[in-house]
A and B are shown apart, each in its own frame.
Chain A
């Protein structure tokens, strides 16, 4: 051993399994962060190749990056959790050894440095492996998502981007070091006298009552607040997101405060359900070693919570929020004609450019001739005006003739401020726009205000003619300044059959046009909504694939704590074997304890996750996109949509925990009682 850092190396080596798990967790965090951005990059790349059509999708893509980053960060945090846990535990056990070294003259600073060196070594190795692994992972994930997603997007080359790699590496190292800071401080505070003391046998201590009460009050209060007085009813952009984040953070704090009490209660319940020696020994273990049990349960619960919350949010976003904007048109047997083939999806069009979906003059003439008299219709031009983009800066807006627009009315736009009577004159007089409240708030304008936007040949003054929701959320611009915004033809004709017209018969007549114009496609808005749902499914699959990876990091954490939990209790296990506990009994105690933690984690995660969905929906609300709806049924429906995933997690959590405990249980129970009892 050439220096004190030799100590660090030796310790890591002596605890190989633990070190490997920590490295694996950091590796996973780094790899997921990088590969997530690779997926987003590949999709972006695929879209960039296709000229103007990218504008239709860029908004979606703009959301992909932060979402992938978010998941990467979740995995990173899980890794940090694991490392904190590992070091926290081992340092409790190493107090004696460190005390001995302190007695021999190791200074506090040196102690700190030894432990930080250990962490740094783990971090560097983990980051390096993570960067290498990310390339493989990225390709594998893309290959996995591609078959589902190709209908919607095209994929280009995927390569890790340097800034992302650097970011992930720095985060990986930072989180590793931060995670050991507290344990290292605790180690440095070990007094030389600790060397002489037996490590205090962990004693059972009751959960702090005050903390439990506070947690219960906080969670019950939050739920009551959002259900009885949904903030989503009044909050609007830009306050909606921060307020939601705040309420969710408080909710998580409540979970954290309540958890020890829940574990204590569950242990008592377990004691009652499992009388006899095994039940007693099992539940005793849960009630002491609070830190370890708490971290394990927390890891499982949070993993499940994030999965449920994300699934519930996706349901809200796709089916009740933005997706719901299609509903108005759908209810009235609306249909549209375009060159877009819903069956083969947008992916097919990408690469051909926006001109390819533009309707030709003769097609438009023929179409108008057929529907005139039997239906109201709009000719929708797709234009991109950054200021008016619904989200991001590249989302499309519709440009529509105001008189035609009035004819389809609610099928295209629903007012939350203003009405058709006041809006139409404004739209006919010049550039009048119908925007979502979020777009208005982002530009700091209200009804009647003027907003200067970017036109094709310079700035263009537009007046806010109304606030509300349009189909697909996009802003509607009057076509009075047509040339300022586009030189193309409309790409879509929305058709709303009149009440005295049979929609099916009209559809048949339109369909007959395809003899002369094979390129046009007729689509029922209701079918389109289904297709949109499918795309939502794809996004869900992608998210869930990433979340599964995040769960791996959580599972590593659980394996790690189980290893330690068994190792910590070697002598007790040996003693129990000596006084006559069979292997099967010991297995039941060790695995039962893990299953118990899994069940508690699963139940807490499920409950807290469903609560989080309610909170997100009821707090975020629909004001920003200009929808008016009763929020509670939507919140419940969103939570219900996440229920299946939640129950899957509820079953998975104990299984993961049992597997994690099975490994160390198997190896320790292979030994003879004396081998187990021996101090190693």
Chain B
């Protein structure tokens, strides 16, 4: 399958006074069209950092990210922004919604920013898929943390982006709604051919993916494909690798 997004020896350093934190030390990562990739790793291993760089939200200290073969470092800020708007959906770990907009307006945001007039039925169907059709006119402060997260997922899908990047999208959810979210992402990758990259700490969530990438100290340490697990369940396979890499 065609590679949609890839990184080439991607590095990210944070400078805190004299101290330099190496958040990513040369990561090579690739995801194909329609592929669902989970990223796992201990806290502070660079998962969120990698996701931010994949989304073009931050500048790398070295290396490059290519989306459909186009290098981020070659793009102007406006080109990169338009790319984010039209090709990338992002679900943050925290704070996802604008407080003054309703759920439906938050979902439609990438389209309205793009100057489009979103089709209300499109927005409603997305809200239905995340189980919030009856909350469309609610403001974020009238929604629970999990509900807010689900609105963010609907927003990430609204522009039918090539790639959706999700930072612990199920972290705040009970297992039932968590499962619903995973099914949704799963379906989007199968049916719309969208690429999903999801950071998670939960091996059951990771089991929904086609492939799991393990990060440690800013480097990829392992990678398992869940297409063929040789008799074991996907969950068991992920758990086994997790033990292997010391998670």
The answer to whether B112 touches A582 (Cβ under 8 A) is no
A579 touching B100 in the complex, CB below 8 Å, given contacts A672-B57, A677-B95: no
- State the B residues within 8 Å of A (CB): 52, 55, 57-59, 77-78, 81-82, 84-86, 90, 92, 95-101, 109-110, 112-115, 139-141, 155
| Count of inter-chain pairs, beta carbons less than 8 A | 80
Say how far A630's CB is from chain B's closest CB, in angstroms: 52
Contacts of A580 in B (CB 8 A): 81-82, 84-86, 110, 113-114
A583 touching B81 in the complex, CB below 8 Å, given contacts A200-B141, A575-B95, A576-B98: yes
The answer to whether A572 touches B99 (Cβ under 8 A) is yes
User: A284 within 8 Å of B by Cβ?
Assistant: yes
A277 touching B113 in the complex, CB below 8 Å, given contacts A201-B99, A285-B100, A582-B78: yes
Ranked nearest first, the 3 interchain pairs of A and B with the lowest CB-CB distance are A580-B85, A201-B99, A277-B112
Contacts of A277 in B (CB 8 A): 109, 112-113, 115
The answer to whether B58 touches A674 (Cβ under 8 A) is yes
What sequence of 0s and 1s flags, for each residue 667-680 of chain A, a beta carbon within 8 Å of any chain B beta carbon? 00000111101000
The answer to whether B55 touches A578 (Cβ under 8 A) is yes
Kindly state the interface size class of chain A when it binds its partner: 20 to 34
CB neighbors of B among A264-306 (8 A): 276-277, 280-281, 284-285, 288
What sequence of 0s and 1s flags, for each residue 509-541 of chain A, a beta carbon within 8 Å of any chain B beta carbon? 000000000000000000000000000000000
A575 touching B113 in the complex, CB below 8 Å, given contacts A583-B77, A672-B57: no
The answer to whether A579 touches B141 (Cβ under 8 A) is no
The answer to whether B58 touches A575 (Cβ under 8 A) is no
Say how far B209's CB is from chain A's closest CB, in angstroms: 23
Of all chain B residues, the one with the shortest Cβ separation from A289 is B100
Of all chain B residues, the one with the shortest Cβ separation from A671 is B58
The answer to whether A582 touches B82 (Cβ under 8 A) is yes
User: With A and B bound together, what is the CA distance between A251 and B86 in angstroms?
Assistant: 53
The answer to whether B55 touches A585 (Cβ under 8 A) is no
User: With A and B bound together, what is the CA distance between A280 and B106 in angstroms?
Assistant: 12
CB neighbors of B among A365-400 (8 A): none
User: A204 within 8 Å of B by Cβ?
Assistant: yes
The answer to whether B95 touches A276 (Cβ under 8 A) is no
The answer to whether A579 touches B112 (Cβ under 8 A) is no
The answer to whether B100 touches A204 (Cβ under 8 A) is yes
User: With A and B bound together, what is the CA distance between A673 and B59 in angstroms?
Assistant: 10
User: A54 within 8 Å of B by Cβ?
Assistant: no
A673 touching B112 in the complex, CB below 8 Å, given contacts A284-B101, A579-B155: no
Contacts of B139 in A (CB 8 A): 203
- State the A residues within 8 Å of B (CB): 200-204, 276-277, 280-281, 284-285, 288, 571-572, 575-585, 672-675, 677
Say how far B113's CB is from chain A's closest CB, in angstroms: 5
User: With A and B bound together, what is the CA distance between A203 and B98 in angstroms?
Assistant: 11
Of A200, A581, A674, which is within 8 A of B81 by CB? A581
Residue picked from B59, B92, B97, B140, most chain A C-beta under 10 Å:
B92
Say how far A601's CB is from chain B's closest CB, in angstroms: 22
User: With A and B bound together, what is the CA distance between A95 and B98 in angstroms?
Assistant: 21
Say how far A322's CB is from chain B's closest CB, in angstroms: 55
User: With A and B bound together, what is the CA distance between A94 and B120 in angstroms?
Assistant: 40
- In the complex, besides A203-B100, A285-B100, A582-B77, 18 extra interface pairs with C-beta distance below 8 angstroms are A201-B140, A277-B109, A277-B115, A572-B98, A572-B99, A575-B92, A575-B96, A575-B98, A576-B113, A579-B109, A580-B82, A580-B84, A580-B110, A580-B113, A581-B85, A583-B77, A673-B58, A677-B57
Residue picked from B85, B113, B115, most chain A C-beta under 10 Å:
B113
User: With A and B bound together, what is the CA distance between A244 and B40 in angstroms?
Assistant: 75
User: With A and B bound together, what is the CA distance between A637 and B82 in angstroms?
Assistant: 56
Contacts of B155 in A (CB 8 A): 579
Of all chain B residues, the one with the shortest Cβ separation from A287 is B100
The answer to whether B57 touches A578 (Cβ under 8 A) is yes
Residue picked from A203, A288, A577, A582, most chain B C-beta under 10 Å:
A582
User: With A and B bound together, what is the CA distance between A572 and B96 in angstroms?
Assistant: 9
Say how far B54's CB is from chain A's closest CB, in angstroms: 12
Majority secondary structure, A binding face: helix
Residue picked from A203, A281, A580, most chain B C-beta under 10 Å:
A580
Could you write out 24 A-B pairs with CB less than 8 Å apart? A201-B99, A203-B99, A276-B112, A285-B100, A572-B98, A575-B98, A576-B98, A576-B109, A576-B113, A577-B57, A578-B90, A578-B92, A579-B113, A580-B81, A580-B84, A580-B110, A582-B81, A583-B77, A585-B113, A672-B57, A672-B58, A673-B57, A674-B58, A675-B58
Say how far B216's CB is from chain A's closest CB, in angstroms: 22
Of all chain B residues, the one with the shortest Cβ separation from A582 is B81
Contacts of A672 in B (CB 8 A): 57-59
Of all chain B residues, the one with the shortest Cβ separation from A676 is B57
Contacts of A203 in B (CB 8 A): 99-100, 139, 141
Of A202, A584, A677, which is within 8 A of B78 by CB? A584
Say how far B183's CB is from chain A's closest CB, in angstroms: 24
Of all chain B residues, the one with the shortest Cβ separation from A571 is B95
Residue picked from B81, B84, B115, most chain A C-beta under 10 Å:
B81
A201 touching B78 in the complex, CB below 8 Å, given contacts A277-B109, A580-B84: no
Say how far B107's CB is from chain A's closest CB, in angstroms: 11
Contacts of B95 in A (CB 8 A): 571, 575, 677
Of all chain A residues, the one with the shortest Cβ separation from B96 is A575
Say how far B110's CB is from chain A's closest CB, in angstroms: 5
Say how far A301's CB is from chain B's closest CB, in angstroms: 25
Contacts of B57 in A (CB 8 A): 577-578, 672-674, 677
Of all chain A residues, the one with the shortest Cβ separation from B81 is A582
Contacts of B97 in A (CB 8 A): 575
Contacts of B59 in A (CB 8 A): 672
User: With A and B bound together, what is the CA distance between A580 and B80 in angstroms?
Assistant: 9
Of A200, A284, A578, A585, which is within 8 A of B100 by CB? A284
User: With A and B bound together, what is the CA distance between A576 and B101 in angstroms?
Assistant: 12
User: With A and B bound together, what is the CA distance between A674 and B23 in angstroms?
Assistant: 14
Of all chain B residues, the one with the shortest Cβ separation from A198 is B141
User: With A and B bound together, what is the CA distance between A584 and B113 in angstroms?
Assistant: 12
Of all chain A residues, the one with the shortest Cβ separation from B158 is A579
Say how far B153's CB is from chain A's closest CB, in angstroms: 13
User: With A and B bound together, what is the CA distance between A484 and B86 in angstroms?
Assistant: 96
The answer to whether B58 touches A579 (Cβ under 8 A) is no
Say how far B103's CB is from chain A's closest CB, in angstroms: 14
Say how far A298's CB is from chain B's closest CB, in angstroms: 22
Contacts of B86 in A (CB 8 A): 580
The answer to whether B84 touches A579 (Cβ under 8 A) is yes
Residue picked from A201, A579, A584, most chain B C-beta under 10 Å:
A579
Contacts of B98 in A (CB 8 A): 281, 572, 575-576
Contacts of A202 in B (CB 8 A): 99
Contacts of B58 in A (CB 8 A): 672-675
User: With A and B bound together, what is the CA distance between A203 and B139 in angstroms?
Assistant: 9
Say how far A190's CB is from chain B's closest CB, in angstroms: 20
Say how far A283's CB is from chain B's closest CB, in angstroms: 10
User: With A and B bound together, what is the CA distance between A124 and B166 in angstroms?
Assistant: 52
User: With A and B bound together, what is the CA distance between A572 and B115 in angstroms?
Assistant: 19
User: With A and B bound together, what is the CA distance between A281 and B101 in angstroms?
Assistant: 9
Say how far A511's CB is from chain B's closest CB, in angstroms: 77
User: With A and B bound together, what is the CA distance between A576 and B109 in angstroms?
Assistant: 9
Of all chain A residues, the one with the shortest Cβ separation from B98 is A572
